[in-house]
Structure 1
Amino acid sequence: MPPRPILHAASLAAALLLPATAHAGFYSGNDLYAVCTTEKDDKEFFEKSYECLGYISGAVDAFNTTREAVGLKSCIPGDVTISQLRGTAVTYMSKNPKDRAKSASSQVFAATRKAWPCPTAKPAAKKKATRKKR
């Protein structure tokens, strides 16, 4: 019979091969909310503040790049600051705690869409068919 440490290592290796469920995103809204609402007296405040700002600005950049790729402009005004984006996202997540289980990027997207909604696209006007005179 193999020694116990070998059995434990084999059990651990087998467990690591089992599939595990994963979130749709790297962060959940709960994760982002926790990072963004770290108290100023917390020893990790500065690190978490940069993590919050970096995540939110990266998510917004990704949304804007996606919009540009399909020929649309950003709906967020050009003079909006990263601090304003952070405030918008944190306020949205604080008012929608049930949604925070979703991905953090979806929460940032929802917050910015609510704060700066895109105008609804109007369908192109159809031209009336005209008959050519013979």
Structure 2
Amino acid sequence: MMSRTLACMALVAPLGLFPVAANAGFYTGDELYAVCTAERGSNTYVENTYECIAYITGAVDAFNTTRKAAKLDSCIPADVTISQLKGVTVDYLRRNPEDRKGSASEQVFAATRKEWPCKDKKAETKKAPVKKKAPVKKKR
């Protein structure tokens, strides 16, 4: 019996070495919301606050890097503070509890896009030019 168990373990153990595509992120929106709303004064408040800020700023940096690689500007204004990023994200998570089951990075992305939507440059360039009407001369 023992040799059969060891044989099974020997066959199954290497499966853990193969990379598997992850369909979900490391954090869910619920997990991010929990660390971002840690109670001030609790034993984990400082650690959770740093974890929250690090996650959100890392996600935003990744979004901006992806846009830059695609030769696009960031949609988030350059003067936005980390505190504002956290506030916008936490507010979005609070208002959308049904979405928090998904990836936290998707929630950060949705929050920032809602607060600072990207301007559609294609739509701006496709607008027809405004023609000025020639002034009508009055007859005397």
What TM-score, normalized by structure 1, do the two folds share?
A: 0.77
What residue in structure 1 maps to residue 137 of structure 2? none
Distance 1:21 1:76, change over 3 A: closer
Distance 1:16 1:27, change over 3 A: farther
Give the Cα–Cα distance (whole angstroms) in 1 for the partners of residues 21 and 34 of structure 2: 22
Q: Secondary structure at the match of 2:122?
A: coil
Question: Alpha-carbon deviation of 1:17?
Answer: 5.4
Query: How does 1:1-16 map onto structure 2 within 5 Å?
Result: 1-2=1-2
What residue in structure 1 maps to residue 37 of structure 2? 37
Percentage of matched positions with identical amino acids = 56
Equivalent residues of 1:23, 1:103 under 8 A apart: no
Could you tell me which runs of 5 or more consecutive residues in structure 2 were left unpaired when the two chains were aligned.
Answer: 127-140
Question: Alpha-carbon deviation of 1:41?
Answer: 2.2
Structure of higher CA gyration radius: 2
RMSD of equivalent CA atoms: 2.8
Q: Secondary structure at the match of 2:121?
A: coil
Q: Secondary structure at the match of 1:101?
A: coil
Distance 1:104 1:16, change over 3 A: farther
